[in-house]
Amino acid sequence: MGIQGLLPFLKKSSRNIQLSEFRGKVAAVDVYCWLHKGAFSCAEKLVKGEPTDGYIIYVMKQVNLLLSHNIKPILVFDGCHLPAKEVTELKRRENRVKNRRKAKELLREGKIKEARECFQRCVDITSTMAHEVIKACRARNIDTIVAPYEADSQLAFLNINGVADIVITEDSDLILFGCSKIIFKMDSNGCGVLVEKEKLHLSMNVPRDKFDFTKFRNMCILSGCDYLPSLHGIGLVKACRFFIVTSNPDVYTVSLSKVLNFVNM
């Protein structure tokens, strides 16, 4: 679930853009997002195990959109699952099985439209599908990378080290990973929302020289994240208010009573 409500919180650090602004740049792409959207168009065939290239067509359409703006794409794929997220993965698998049963049932009853919705809910992006897209890219000389684990950190690495000027994703965690420029909600017209690291202080309501990225990251962690149970009643706004006044930027050594006292709970 990442950080709840991070993108709306960062409205002052965001602006609408068009891909044409990034002519000549290199973009690292979180392909999982495109794979998932593309799989929607051919969900039933994928679940039934029937051959389809619908998702490949969609990914390549997006790739062509970047190329048409003279942007060089580097497609980053997910590698191994993180052991820390195994529980989440198991729940998702369970959900898929449930929806698959329901889809087949609806199909028998002749409720085609409702069945399709269930099929779309239980699509799984397999490594075989990823490999098909990689082959399609290789045939067209498009760079692809398979990350050791989740693509997030690989995307951030490429951006921080200057290999990629921008990152294209739907995952707000990339902001915490330290990316300088991220495009969210990119549509098929090349419009999207750009979030810049250099503008993060605007959303925290502090002057640029008072902004500390570590504080920002710890503020997000305090508001609640995937990796550990979170404090009830503390969201981004309260976490932000706390970190503006505290001199200690370390979320782990700050005393709990201090936090609770500050937000008067």
Partner DNA sequence: ATCTAGTCGTCAT
Partner DNA sequence: CGACTAGAT
**Footprint of DNA on this chain (CB under 7 A)?**
1-8, 36-38, 40-41, 54, 57-58, 61, 88, 120-121, 170-173, 184-185, 187-188, 223-224, 230-239
Nearer of residues 22 and 78 to DNA, judged by Cβ = 78
Nearer of residues 120 and 218 to DNA, judged by Cβ = 120
- What are the distances in angstroms from CA 256 to CA 152, 175, 219, 265? 30, 26, 14, 11
Q: What angle do CA 142, 145, 147 make, to 5 degrees?
A: 160
> CB of residue 37 vs DNA: minimum separation in angstroms?
4
> CB of residue 88 vs DNA: minimum separation in angstroms?
7
Nearer of residues 78 and 158 to DNA, judged by Cβ = 78
Nearer of residues 26 and 171 to DNA, judged by Cβ = 171
Phi, psi of 79 (to 5 degrees): -100, -120
Where b means 16+ CB within 10 Å and e means fewer, 115-149 reads bbebbbbbbebeeebbebbbebbeeeebebbbbee
Nearer of residues 40 and 211 to DNA, judged by Cβ = 40
Nearer of residues 14 and 26 to DNA, judged by Cβ = 14
> CB of residue 1 vs DNA: minimum separation in angstroms?
5
**Which of 130, 174, 143, 147 has its CA nearest to residue 38?**
130
Residue 167's CB is within 10 A of a number of other CB atoms, namely: 29
Do 254 and 245 touch, CB atoms closer than 8 A?
A: no
Structure tokens at 78: 């997910």
Do 192 and 184 touch, CB atoms closer than 8 A?
A: yes
Nearer of residues 26 and 182 to DNA, judged by Cβ = 182
**Which of 259, 250, 165 has its CA nearest to residue 216?**
250
> CB of residue 121 vs DNA: minimum separation in angstroms?
7
> CB of residue 107 vs DNA: minimum separation in angstroms?
17
Helix axes 54-68, 31-40, angle to 10 degrees: 130
> CB of residue 38 vs DNA: minimum separation in angstroms?
6
Q: What one-character DSSP code corresponds to residue 162?
A: T
> CB of residue 187 vs DNA: minimum separation in angstroms?
7
